[in-house]
Structure 1
Amino acid sequence: MDTKEKYSNLIKSKAVAFGFQSCGISKADFLEEEAPHLEQWLQNNFHGEMHYMENHFDKRLDPRLLVEGAKSVVSLSYNYFPAEQQNNADFKLSKYAYGEDYHEVIKEKLRNLVAELQQEIGAFAFRVFVDSAPVLEKAWAKRSGIGWVGKNSNLITKKNGSFYFLAEIICDLELIEDFPVTDHCGSCTRCIDACPTKAIVADKVIDGSKCISYATIELKDQIPDFFKDKMEDWMFGCDICQDVCPWNRFSAPTLEEKFRPNSAVKNFTKQEWKDITREIFSSVFKKSAVMRTKFSGLKRNIDFLSE
């Protein structure tokens, strides 16, 4: 077994040991196929007020600009599908936000994973990413064979569906590349048909400015009237296009305790959400990704849904 194979196998076995669902490897190279799509998406203003998407265009497409001497992108997925879900009669949070902030939880796992790798391999240059910095996560995960990009632009796998976080280790190790898997969406259009704002404007193309997740998280101003009576009680994020996806019947509950919902998330009624105070918000969402929208943002969303 040569060094490339040895290191590749070691990384994948460590990923399993740290609880990651999948691990795939691709060559750190320019994302030639994605470049025109990203440029067109930005030109169409599908990013709305997410102006940060306009920044670091070159870095989004070339990981070697993020890690000097980068040779490999290790893509990983981590399951967050909850065993217990909110009552559908209540204002809803996207399932990824039920528990603690995934950025922190998964980044810590990645750092510990790399620390163990370096004990066995020796020092190597790397950076870890969890939905942070200009990294096109789905493109790398697709290249590495973790799954395919569905019509709703989420990464989907036959075995696990799509309720998982993506993460990357960009490093200067030479590793064995994996290969993309085939697309298994076929003629299914359930995600397109189910989207109440018609944000899925074409196969794999999302008009972010029409997405409920964008309106409830990214948008800092008042929610436009366009969203009136279309948000289906989503107060933070939206899971509609994933909930209707047939592949998500294979989603199994996460084993990560930190991603499980607390009692307030599970049991609050609509009235309790309407009456939420800054103190209760801070208590319920102390370590949550919901802190990103702040109390004022969540209150704005709830008030908009209540009008």
Structure 2
Amino acid sequence: MSSTPGEQQNTGFDGPALLEQLRGWGSALGFSQIGVADIDLASAEAGLLAWLEAGHHGRMNYMAAHGLKRARPAELLPGTLRVITARMDYLPADTPEGWQAIEWQGLGKPSQAQVSIYARGRDYHKVLRHRLQQLASKLEQAIGPLGYRVFTDSAPVLEVELATRSGLGWRGKHTLTLDREAGSMFFLGEILVDLSLPLTPPTSAHCGQCSACIDVCPTQAIIAPYRVDARRCISYLTIESDEPIPLALRPLIGNRIYGCDDCQLACPWNKFARRSTLTDFDARPALQAPTLLELWRWDESEFLRRTEGSAIRRIGFERWRRNLAVALGNALRAADSAALRAALLAARPQASALVGEHIDWALSESL
């Protein structure tokens, strides 16, 4: 934030013209769309409270700790009048036509490790935060001192709600933002500003009677349209949770070792998903269809080296090994392999309690 919110006196600007400038700057920075939302999210508070009270946030305790602050941007940054919303596509530039079918094929190969598409390149937090900061700086250069704060999946902000209200798309039944011309393969970011920019109108929803995302979820984590129980979600289990993965859900995880894209792969709107204009999201060679054994051979130093600047690094080596042990167990269930079994047995003596328990499960499941 570059100035104290509420102190700037930029009241004589041309709102529509400034919004067009913002969109131009955003496009040059790699953003696919820019919108502006109001800060009154009161109508979203009841749904947020119900989700938290049901425990659907799992062990993401920060969500409960922040409570209704997530629906009150002005409590995060006093003086906030508007939220600039931004969308950035992340499909790698070289993604071929028929990419969904290729991803499904990968999920059908038990010995191949499946990493969520968004995590195969550079950490999106770093990319978006830097570019949102640049966008805010351009705005400040144009109008003078500005109170602002940038976010991308990094603070108690109702990102999808803000994106929906500002016309970046609508909330899909899988709870992700959907756009008719871009599907859902994009990241969201926000800039809270103490500037009364003109609002951009919301768009209509277009899920209709489709339930593809609900039907395809491996763990049935989408418990109702527009409601996800994180405790069953593979993305939560493999990334957010630091606990043992529930026994009943381990076989359902298959070869997914970091995140899950199934609901997006099944969504008809993602036939319109756009390729990124940034090289940051190009997949790293080590994460392009690697085998489970290749990744299992990494020691901690290699894990840290290979995941430098990646979102994967934040889960740490122990959770990485936990996830791989589950996938190796599922591969053994599909087809017993002396090589997989030997790799698990060799790692057992030095494994931590968490990883060791998952190795034991992997080996016992194939007997």
Give the alignment's TM-score, normalised by structure 1: 0.96
Root-mean-square deviation (CA), in Å?
Answer: 1.5
Q: State the secondary structure of the residue aligned to 2:220.
A: coil
Q: Decide which of 322, 338, 351 is 1:300's aligned counterpart.
A: 322
Asked if residue 44 in structure 1 is aligned to residue 54 in structure 2, the reply is: yes
Q: 2:33 is aligned with what amino acid?
A: S
Asked if residue 16 in structure 1 is aligned to residue 7 in structure 2, the reply is: no
Residue 276 of structure 1 deviates from its aligned partner by 2.1
Q: State the secondary structure of the residue aligned to 1:55.
A: helix
- Aligned twin of 1:215: 237
Q: Which has the larger radius of gyration?
A: 2
Q: Decide which of 191, 206, 226 is 1:204's aligned counterpart.
A: 226
CA contact (8 A) 1:72 1:175 kept: yes
User: Could you report, residue by residue, the CA deviation over 1:188-247 in whole angstroms, capped at 9, with x for unpaired residues?
Assistant: 111001001110011100011000011101110111102121013110111000011000
- Aligned twin of 2:126: 104
Give the alignment's TM-score, normalised by structure 2: 0.81
How far apart, in 1, do the equivalents of 2:249 and 2:229 lie?
14
Residue 252 of structure 1 deviates from its aligned partner by 2.3
Asked if residue 4 in structure 1 is aligned to residue 26 in structure 2, the reply is: no
How far apart, in 1, do the equivalents of 2:31 and 2:169 lie?
14
How far apart, in 2, do the equivalents of 1:16 and 1:254 lie?
12
How far apart, in 1, do the equivalents of 2:65 and 2:185 lie?
28
Asked if residue 149 in structure 1 is aligned to residue 159 in structure 2, the reply is: no
Q: Decide which of 42, 47, 63 is 1:32's aligned counterpart.
A: 42
State the percentage of identical aligned residues: 36
Deviates more, 1:148-157 or 1:249-258: 249-258
- Aligned twin of 2:214: 192
User: Could you report, residue by residue, the CA deviation over 1:152-184 in whole angstroms, capped at 9, with x for unpaired residues?
Assistant: 001000000001000001101111111111110
Q: Decide which of 82, 86, 94 is 1:76's aligned counterpart.
A: 86
Aligned residue-pair number: 306
Q: State the secondary structure of the residue aligned to 2:88.
A: strand
Q: How does 1:159-238 map to 2 (within 5 A)?
A: 159-238=181-260
Q: Kindly indicate whether structure 1 or structure 2 has the higher relative contact order, using CA contacts under 8 Å at least 6 residues apart.
A: 1
Residue 269 of structure 1 deviates from its aligned partner by 1.7
Asked if residue 61 in structure 1 is aligned to residue 71 in structure 2, the reply is: yes
CA contact (8 A) 1:161 1:249 kept: yes
How far apart, in 1, do the equivalents of 2:120 and 2:250 lie?
25
Q: State the secondary structure of the residue aligned to 2:269.
A: helix
- Aligned twin of 1:91: 113
- Aligned twin of 1:247: 269
Residue 123 of structure 1 deviates from its aligned partner by 1.2
Residue 27 of structure 1 deviates from its aligned partner by 1.5
Q: State the secondary structure of the residue aligned to 2:34.
A: strand
Residue 6 of structure 1 deviates from its aligned partner by 2.5
How far apart, in 1, do the equivalents of 2:225 and 2:213 lie?
10
Structure 2: gaps of 5 or more residues: 1-11, 329-361, 363-367
Q: State the secondary structure of the residue aligned to 1:280.
A: helix
CA contact (8 A) 1:265 1:284 kept: no
Q: 1:275 is aligned with what amino acid?
A: R
Q: 2:262 is aligned with what amino acid?
A: I
Structure 1: gaps of 5 or more residues: none
- Aligned twin of 1:273: 295
